[in-house]
């Protein structure tokens, strides 16, 4: 993996305006499958929030605490607290304001989805292979089909963390897809409709969603791929923020704690170069329309 996996940009505040040249650099890097690192951008918590910065906040089975923007509901925590909801809400607004001005060309079509807080050390947990984000994968959401829309995520390690978040970044999407496509199971359109009817998925999985889930699963479950794929290790220090299209950039998160994350969706047509989207790459490789 070349060491151009990351582009570092000098951004030190959560709101703009930003130089249009900086916006172009950010959009170009993201669409090319690079991670945009904002090394000087920390999310500061308030003094009264210090009690929240602990893994004991998690209920027994959750790896994350999450805030659903549609309902304002906080999930995964032992008890609902107004303080916790306020911290997550403030992070969500900061991330939103940053991306709408840093990624100015996306401002009108970017949709904010879940916010998550990941207080626990991830290296110490047990996961089933499909749930195990320590294996290289691209993101695909089982219950929320995107129909081709992009998954753009912003991550920030709190300054109070005492370790970096250690990731691996894999090869270009097209390389991975071309390698693993022949091994993917056939699609099952009737099952996609059934899942939507019984409420297992929010909307019907398109052929694209089925391919992306199959690719996600294959990457994680294929030990030969995990053993032989090339990757670049990257450590994101406390007090730093980064973002990437996680449906495109193969990534694995090996260790770290006390991180906040905000998910966004973006329609393919809003991209400067839609041809770089996983949707268009898969369609090209397979010679058919997928969404």
Residue numbers at the binding site for Fe ion (CB under 5 A): 139
Site string for ligand SIN, 251-270 (x = CB under 6 A): x-x-----------------
Q: Give the other-Cβ count within 10 Å of 202's Cβ.
A: 11
Question: Please, what is the minimum distance in Å from the beta carbon of residue 217 to ligand SIN?
Answer: 14
Site string for ligand SIN, 30-59 (x = CB under 6 A): ------------------------------
Tell me how far apart the alpha carbons of residues 38 and 242 are, in angstroms, rounded to a whole number: 6
- Tell me how far apart the terminal alpha carbons of the chain are, to the nearest angstrom: 30
Q: Which does 58 bind (CB under 5 to 8 A by kind): Fe ion, ligand SIN, none?
A: none
Closest CA to 208 of 230, 236, 235, 177: 177
Q: Which of residues 228-247 bind ligand SIN (CB under 6 A)?
A: 246
Q: At what angle do helices 207-221 and 173-180 cross, to 10 degrees?
A: 80
Question: Please, what is the minimum distance in Å from the beta carbon of residue 260 to Fe ion?
Answer: 15
Query: Do 63 and 125 contact (CB within 8 A), yes or no?
Result: yes
Q: Which of residues 151-210 bind ligand SIN (CB under 6 A)?
A: 165
- Backbone torsions φ then ψ of 74, nearest 5 degrees: -100, 130
Nearer to ligand SIN, 90 or 216 (CB): 216
Question: Please, what is the minimum distance in Å from the beta carbon of residue 20 to Fe ion?
Answer: 31
Task: Tell which one of 133, 174, 181, 231 touches ligand SIN (CB under 6 A).
Answer: 133
Nearer to ligand SIN, 220 or 276 (CB): 220
Q: Give the other-Cβ count within 10 Å of 238's Cβ.
A: 19
Number of chain residues interacting with ligand SIN (CB under 6 A) = 7
In 3-state terms the chain splits into helix, strand, coil percentages (rounded to 5) of 35, 20, 45
Q: Which residues bind ligand SIN (CB under 6 A)?
A: 118, 133, 139, 165, 246, 251, 253
């Amino acid at each position: 993996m070349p060491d151009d996996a990351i582009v570092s940009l000098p951004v030190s505040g959560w709101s703009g305006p930003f130089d249009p040249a900086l916006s172009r650099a950010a959009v170009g890097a993201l669409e090319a499958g690079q991670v945009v690192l904002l090394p000087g951008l920390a999310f500061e918590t308030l003094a009264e929030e210090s009690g929240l910065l602990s893994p004991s906040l998690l209920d027994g089975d959750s790896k994350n605490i999450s805030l659903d923007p549609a309902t304002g509901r906080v999930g995964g925590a032992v008890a609902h607290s107004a303080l916790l909801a306020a911290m997550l809400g403030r992070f969500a607004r900061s991330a939103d304001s940053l991306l709408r001005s840093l990624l100015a060309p996306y401002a009108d079509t970017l949709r904010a989805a879940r916010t998550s807080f990941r207080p626990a050390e991830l290296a110490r947990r047990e996961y089933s292979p499909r749930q195990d984000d320590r294996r290289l994968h691209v993101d695909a959401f089982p219950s929320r089909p995107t129909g081709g829309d992009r998954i753009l995520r912003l991550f920030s390690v709190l300054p109070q963390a005492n370790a970096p978040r250690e990731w691996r970044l894999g090869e270009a999407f097209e390389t991975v897809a071309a390698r693993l496509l022949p091994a993917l199971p056939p699609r099952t359109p009737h099952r996609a409709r059934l899942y939507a009817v019984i409420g297992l998925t929010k909307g019907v999985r398109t052929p694209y969603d089925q391919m992306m889930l199959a690719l996600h699963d294959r990457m994680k479950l294929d030990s030969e791929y995990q053993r032989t794929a090339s990757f670049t290790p990257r450590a994101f220090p406390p007090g730093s923020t980064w973002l990437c299209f996680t449906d495109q950039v193969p990534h694995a998160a090996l260790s770290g704690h006390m991180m906040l994350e905000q998910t966004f969706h973006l329609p393919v047509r809003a991209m400067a170069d839609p041809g770089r989207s996983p949707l268009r790459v898969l369609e090209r490789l397979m010679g058919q329309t997928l969404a």
